[in-house]
Amino acid sequence: MNSKPPIQVSIHPADRMSGLPAQFFAGLVRKANAQTAKGRDVINLGQGNPDQPTPSHIVHRLQAAAANPLYHKYPPFSGFTFLKEAVANRYQEDYGVELDPEKEVAVLFGGKTGLVEISQCLLNPGDVCLVPDPGYPDYWSGVALAGGVMEYMPLVADNGFLPDYSAIPAPIANKAKLMFINYPNNPTGAVAGSDFYARTVEFAAKHGIAVASDFAYGAIGFDGQKPASFLQTPGAKETGVEFYTLSKTYNMAGWRVGFALGNADIVHLINLIQDHYYCSLFGGIQEAAAEALNGPQNCVAELSSMYEARRNTVYKALQQIGWEAQKPGGSFFCWLPVPSDHTSASFADLVLEQADVVLAPGIGFGNHGEGYVRLGLLASEARLEEAIHRIGRLGLFG
């Protein structure tokens, strides 16, 4: 008998794979699952997944649209015009911002995709990108894939968790090609006003930097304050783009619908790279996404009020246990200082092991996240209250 040698190919990953940042939060998920597997009643406030369902009028629209044979074919490369018009109309109505649906709107598979793609569109290996610290880790992923170099903009409580542009050395600012900003902010819950965006446009224009404004939590503002959009600032469209997503606004995280809006050159580049990666979203999803944007918006106001009520419940409970923290002005995150004899990771481990509560350690968002944990307002008020009281019983505060 002819016996062939076994086929063996060793797989050698490309260098760019080893440059990807470590997935810090994968470890958190593993620890939480291990605790649940022991039969413990774990309250998971460590992640950023909306806990409420998508409003039913949007779901029904997808159900009907799924039967449309037009959507069973390939969708147009850069998405259906009706969806681009829907997001342009929403920006006009909500922010008074004019967008050309064909030239100033790119449809994305969720904001995350665009946040990674923009670095690939704009950065050559070695190019500098300014990123917030603490910040959303997907910015790092895009910069790493492009071979770019990150320079960190510290976000500290004394400056309202806004970057201080005057503290960035001129040689670094002059080398930077791209910068990320994100308000309402993940993880700090800080909100930016129009004066901050005006300073951003001025700084970016002076140093020739493209701005990527991540507006994922744009719909969630508290205490009667509606978060401002970067694109409302004079000169913003000349300077950069805003990333907008349906994930949080309409509880559509699993649907994967987002947009890059604003600067026509950047929108063109994002559409171009996407022409090589994808062929746009399923048409039925695009139709339902347009329904979300064009349809009744009371669900958005109700969602924001729900998070505000949860925030208030959490802060009342925090006060009761003697844990002092600043209230977030938007997003669905609370950024809580840990006791001085703990690191963010040791504190998160302790509350998971002894109180069965999952919180995200701030160090996972960057060095300036040390000293904090992030709590997501992603459970009922009763569960949130229970979580804080469980932590209170550990006797670490007050």
Binding site for ligand PLP (CB under 6 A): 48, 110-112, 136, 182, 186, 214, 216, 245, 247, 253, 258
| Token pair recorded at residue 82 | 């009706």
Q: Which is nearer to ligand PLP, 214 or 287 (CB)?
A: 214
Strands (E), 25-166: 43-44, 105-108, 128-133, 149-154
- Based on CB atoms, which residue is closest to ligand PLP, 95 or 243? 243
Q: Which two tokens stand for residue 154?
A: 């510290």
Which of residues 49 and 56 has its CB atom nearest to ligand PLP in the complex? 49
- Secondary structure in 3-state letters for 21-53: CCCHHHHHHHHHHHHHHCCCCCEECCCCCCCCC
Q: Which is nearer to ligand PLP, 379 or 394 (CB)?
A: 379
Cα–Cα separations (whole angstroms), residue 387 to 220, 302, 392: 23, 24, 9
Question: Minimal CA–CA distance to 115: which of 80, 89, 143?
Answer: 143
Cα–Cα distances in angstroms (integers) from residue 279 to residues 273, 276, 286, in the given order: 11, 8, 13
Q: Which tokens is 153 given?
A: 């903009």
- The CB-of-321 to ligand PLP minimum distance in angstroms stands at 27
Identify which of residues 278 and 321 has a Cβ nearer to ligand PLP in the complex: 278
CB of 380 to ligand PLP, least distance (A): 20
CB atoms within 10 A of CB 303: 20
Residue 266 corresponds to which tokens in the numbers above? 């950047």
Which CB atom, from 111 or from 364, has the smaller least distance to ligand PLP?
Answer: 111
Residue 173 or 373: the one with the smaller Cβ distance to ligand PLP is: 373
Rounded to the nearest whole angstrom, what is the least distance from the CB of residue 3 to ligand PLP in the complex? 51
Strand pairing of 176-182 and 210-214? parallel
Q: How far is the CB of 227 from ligand PLP (least distance, A)?
A: 13
Q: Which is nearer to ligand PLP, 75 or 132 (CB)?
A: 132
- Number of Cβ within 10 Å of residue 393's Cβ equals 10
Smallest separation, CB 245 to ligand PLP (Å): 3
> E-assigned strands of 134-251?
149-154, 176-182, 210-214, 240-245
Cis bond upstream, residue 69 (ω within 30) = no
80 strand-pairing partners: none
Q: Which residue has the tokens 């070695």?
A: 126
Residue placing its CB nearer to ligand PLP in the complex, 116 or 317:
116
Give the pairing type, strands 210-214 and 333-337: unpaired
To ligand PLP, the closest distance from the beta carbon of 11 in angstroms equals 29
In the complex with ligand PLP, which residue's Cβ is closer, 180 or 323? 180
Distance CA 220, CA 216 (A): 9
Does the N-terminal peptide bond of residue 227 adopt cis geometry, omega within 30 degrees of 0? no
CB of 72 to ligand PLP, least distance (A): 25
| Least spacing, CB of residue 142 vs ligand PLP, in Å | 12
**Minimum Å distance from CB 272 to ligand PLP?**
20
With CA atoms as reference, report the closest residue to 74 among 278, 259, 287. 278
Q: How far is the CB of 392 from ligand PLP (least distance, A)?
A: 28
Give the number of other CB atoms < 10 A from CB of residue 96.
10
